[in-house]
Amino acid sequence: MKKILLFLAAALLVASTAFAGKKYVISVTQIVEHPALDAMRQGVADRLKEKGIDFDYNVHNAQNNMATNTQIVGQIIGERPDVVLAIATPGAQACAQKIHDTPIVFTGVTDPVTAGLVKDLQNTGARNITGMSDFSPIDRQVALIRELVPNVKTIGIIYNSGEPNAVPILKALKREAAKLGINVEEATISNSSGVYQAAKSLVGRCDAVYVGTDNTVVSALESAVKVCENNKLPLIVGDVDSVARGAIAAEAVDYYKMGLQTGDMIARILVDGAKPADMPVEFLDDLSLHVNMKAAKAMGVTVPQSVLDRADKVLE
């Protein structure tokens, strides 16, 4: 028995030493640079470092260019990574089309099934793909809009109809708004340069503006903020990182926390040998409420005490 215990201890020591000396390659594709997506990327890195995992982080940013998004996949293949981290839907889709053996972990993907990444959230049906969905709690966000703008009759939404993240959010917004007798007015764009005019087109047509987790719009959020401030039009968003940039409020996923949880998934693949095909798509249930008092004043909104009392962060 003593010999067996000594043998097991030696084996564990060898395994531990091998892990300590292992340096992994993680290739990252990110569709565009903005605070929410950057926070996810940082969260992943921080969690892996916290776990003592040594890795090279090869980050590629498509800057919302679809041709570049596709080209990045070729660069990633050449890097021979241990895991691919795909931040947002377009990058995940491009990787899924061409990378079939290397594990792909996506994060910040609103609807992985509609995007064609997995067949089912529990049983993904994808040999090498899993990840996290950031589908917005639209029911709570519509309720927040009504709390901030009690007499709201119409909500305006700015979105890119060509972005996979945007369309499911629009459908959910219409469904939840209809339950409360609220109409939805649409302003569509095809690129970030159109955000300013889209916001202007909503002036006089709605009582509040909503921007969801649409990467094209969020990357140019300041344009919408400017229009809303100039016209006393309340702007509520679908991610907490956009509140500090000038929106009034968001009750939503904390993308840094989502990055931490995504890092846990990657660690299970790298260290524990977990297979993506056996890992269901995960969600972050811990929502955060952020409020920007300066933005509220600029847009003519008095924030109710009930909102302030439950806020996780209030920016003065």
Per-residue pLDDT of the chain (316 residues; tens, 9 = 90+): 444 444 444 444 444 434 456 899 999 999 999 899 999 999 999 999 999 999 999 999 999 999 999 999 999 999 999 999 999 999 999 999 999 999 999 999 999 999 999 999 998 887 899 999 998 899 999 999 999 999 999 999 999 998 877 889 999 999 999 999 999 999 999 999 999 999 999 999 999 999 999 999 999 999 999 999 999 999 999 999 999 999 999 999 899 999 999 999 999 999 999 999 999 999 987 889 999 999 999 999 999 999 999 999 999 9
Asked if the structure places residue 59 within a domain, the reply is yes
| Structural domain of 230 | 138-252+288-315
Q: Are residues 193 and 221 in the same domain?
A: yes
Specify whether 100 is located in the same domain as 158: no
Q: Given this model, what pLDDT does residue 20 score?
A: 53
Residue 5 within any structural domain of the chain: no
Q: Is residue 13 part of a domain?
A: no
Q: Which of 181, 190, 188, 182 is nearest to 208 (CA)?
A: 182
186 and 269 part of one domain: no
Residue 189 lies in a domain: yes
- Examine the domain organization and report whether 170 and 306 are in the same domain: yes
Q: Cβ neighbours of residue 308 under 8 Å, at least 6 residues apart?
A: 291, 314
Residue 101 and residue 127 share a domain: yes
Position 18 scores a pLDDT of: 41
Helix axis angle for 89-98 and 66-79, nearest 10°, is: 50
Residue 221 forms beta bridges with which residues?
A: none
Q: Same domain for 149 and 243?
A: yes
Interatomic CA distance for residues 251 and 238, integer angstroms = 7
In sequence order, the 6+-apart residues with CB closer than 8 A to the CB of 278 are: none
Domain holding 99: CATH number?
Answer: 3.40.50.2300
User: Within a domain: residue 62?
Assistant: yes
Residues 211 and 266 in one domain: no
Is the domain of 160 the same as that of 47? no
Question: What pTM value is reported for the model?
Answer: 0.79
Q: Looking at the structure, do residues 163 and 66 belong to the same domain, yes or no?
A: no
Three-state SS sequence of the chain: CHHHHHHHHHHHHHHHHHHHCCEEEEEEEECCCCHHHHHHHHHHHHHHHHCCCEEEEEEEECCCCHHHHHHHHHHHHHHCCCEEEEECHHHHHHHHHHCCCCCEEEEEECCCCCCCCCCCCCCCCCCCEEEEECCCCHHHHHHHHHHHCCCCCEEEEEEECCCCCHHHHHHHHHHHHHHCCCEEEEEEECCHHHHHHHHHHHCCCCCEEEECCCHHHHCCHHHHHHHHHHCCCCEEECCHHHCCCCCCEEEEECHHHHHHHHHHHHHHHHCCCCCHHHCCCEECCCEEEEEEHHHHHHCCCCCCHHHHHHCCEEEC
User: What pLDDT shows up at residue 271?
Assistant: 96
pLDDT score of 41: 98
User: Which tokens is 125 given?
Assistant: 């049906």
Evaluate whether residue 146 is within a structural domain: yes
Q: How many domains does the chain have?
A: 2
Q: Please report whether residue 281 resides in a domain.
A: yes
Residue 293 shares a structural domain with residue 162: yes
Indicate if 297 and 221 belong to the same structural domain.
Answer: yes
Answer yes or no: is 25 within a domain.
Answer: yes
The per-residue pLDDT for 58 is 97
260 with 187, same domain: the answer is: no
Strands 154-160, 208-211: parallel, antiparallel or unpaired by DSSP?
parallel
